[in-house]
Amino acid sequence: MKNSTIAFIGGGNMAYSLIGGLVAGDCPASNIRVADPNNETLEAMQQQFGITPFPADNPGAIAEVDAIVLAVKPQILATVTKEVGEVLQNSHGKAPLLISIAAGVRTHDIERWLGGDTQAVVRTMPNTPALLQSSATGLYANRHVSEQQKNLAESILRAVGTTAWLEEEAQLDAVTALSGSGPAYFFLFMEAMEAAAQELGLPQETARMLTLQTAFGAAKMALERPESSAELRRKVTSPGGTTEAAIGSFQQQELEAIVTQAMNAARDRSIELADQLGKENP
């Protein structure tokens, strides 16, 4: 990592979070380049982190780097990737690793836009808590990615949270349904708990604070204790107690089936959207 040069194409929210995590770790800011159309954004990043800015100069940013992080919106990824592909085809330097963080854009589309299946590409699926360095990211590498490049991609994405490699790209649709959309499931659950607590007579602020701290405490326990989620639940569910009354009510309403159905819907939509993005950009 200390010896790797990384170019970010797009200096928006995700690039900001990744770079913040990288420079707080062991990546020297002098190894990081950022290309973005907005000069002010780049100047602010240069002042805060010490990165090298490339205003509206994607080709300049990617010359002779080890990794290129495509950090633009999915809708413009095709245009940007084609531009990168042209530059790489005309350069005779080392072949860099391409890392896409764009939601729902398939590796074979990225390869196609690059001009052929010859480049090392890692497709990743971080989630929104990446903006707070608390992401859960799935990664998939194409056949051209070396072990060293895998380590580099993992180090970059670990700057914003935890990572998991996937054997098959299709598993990224499941990751999208799990961690990609997952924060919203928990927000929905917290929203419902907060509203129910108010109906039970608690003031709004108290309901909110106790809901959030309970969610945080439960996640922290599940992360730090060796027991499974099911085991932790059993341990806090005394026979004949209040928790058992609530869990029994959830199970009567078939909560597990509701969750499975919802995640299947998210997985199916992820496939549809990726198909659409690929078709819209030949």
Ligand X SMILES: NC(=O)c1ccc[n+]([C@@H]2O[C@H](COP(=O)([O-])OP(=O)(O)OC[C@H]3O[C@@H](n4cnc5c(N)ncnc54)[C@H](OP(=O)(O)O)[C@@H]3O)[C@@H](O)[C@H]2O)c1
Question: Given candidates 99, 103, 114, 152, which one binds ligand X under the rule CB under 6 A?
Answer: 103
Choose the binding region for ligand X from 106-114, 125-133, 239-247, 266-274 (rule: CB under 6 A). 125-133
Which residue number has the CB closest to ligand X?
12
Establish if 35 lies at the interface with ligand X (CB under 6 A).
yes
Distance CA 163, CA 156 (A): 10
> For residue 225, what are the contacts with CB-CB under 8 A and spacing of at least 6?
232
Residue 188 parent element (H or E): helix 182-199
Go through the chain and tell me how many residues it has: 282
CA R_g for the chain: 22
Question: Given candidates 19, 97, 102, 114, which one binds ligand X under the rule CB under 6 A?
Answer: 102
Q: Choose between 9 and 110: whose C-beta lies nearer to ligand X.
A: 9
Establish if 45 lies at the interface with ligand X (CB under 6 A).
no
Choose the binding region for ligand X from 12-20, 106-114, 183-191, 207-215 (rule: CB under 6 A). 12-20
Distance CA 87, CA 238 (A): 64
| Residue span 57-96 as binding mask against ligand X, x where in contact by CB under 6 A, dash where not | -x------------xxxx-x---x----------------
Dig out the tokens for 59 from the structure: 């080709």
Residue 136 parent element (H or E): strand 135-141
Nearest distance from C-beta of residue 80 to ligand X, angstroms: 5
Helix (DSSP H) and strand (DSSP E) numbers for the chain: 12, 8
Residue 45's identity, in one-letter code, is M
Establish if 238 lies at the interface with ligand X (CB under 6 A).
no
- Contact yes or no for 143/119 (Cβ under 8 A): no
Establish if 152 lies at the interface with ligand X (CB under 6 A).
no
Nearest distance from C-beta of residue 4 to ligand X, angstroms: 21
> For residue 145, what are the contacts with CB-CB under 8 A and spacing of at least 6?
97, 120, 121, 122, 153
Within residues 127-146, the interface with ligand X by CB under 6 A covers 127-128, 130-131
Establish if 276 lies at the interface with ligand X (CB under 6 A).
no
Secondary structure (3-state) at 6:
strand
Establish if 172 lies at the interface with ligand X (CB under 6 A).
no
Q: Choose between 125 and 145: whose C-beta lies nearer to ligand X.
A: 125
Q: Choose between 53 and 207: whose C-beta lies nearer to ligand X.
A: 53
Question: Which residue is listed with tokens 């996640």?
Answer: 219
Establish if 37 lies at the interface with ligand X (CB under 6 A).
yes
Residue 184 parent element (H or E): helix 182-199
Nearest distance from C-beta of residue 53 to ligand X, angstroms: 12
Distance CA 231, CA 251 (A): 16
Which residues of the chain form contacts with ligand X (CB under 6 A)?
9-15, 35-38, 41, 58, 71-74, 76, 80, 101-103, 126-128, 130-131
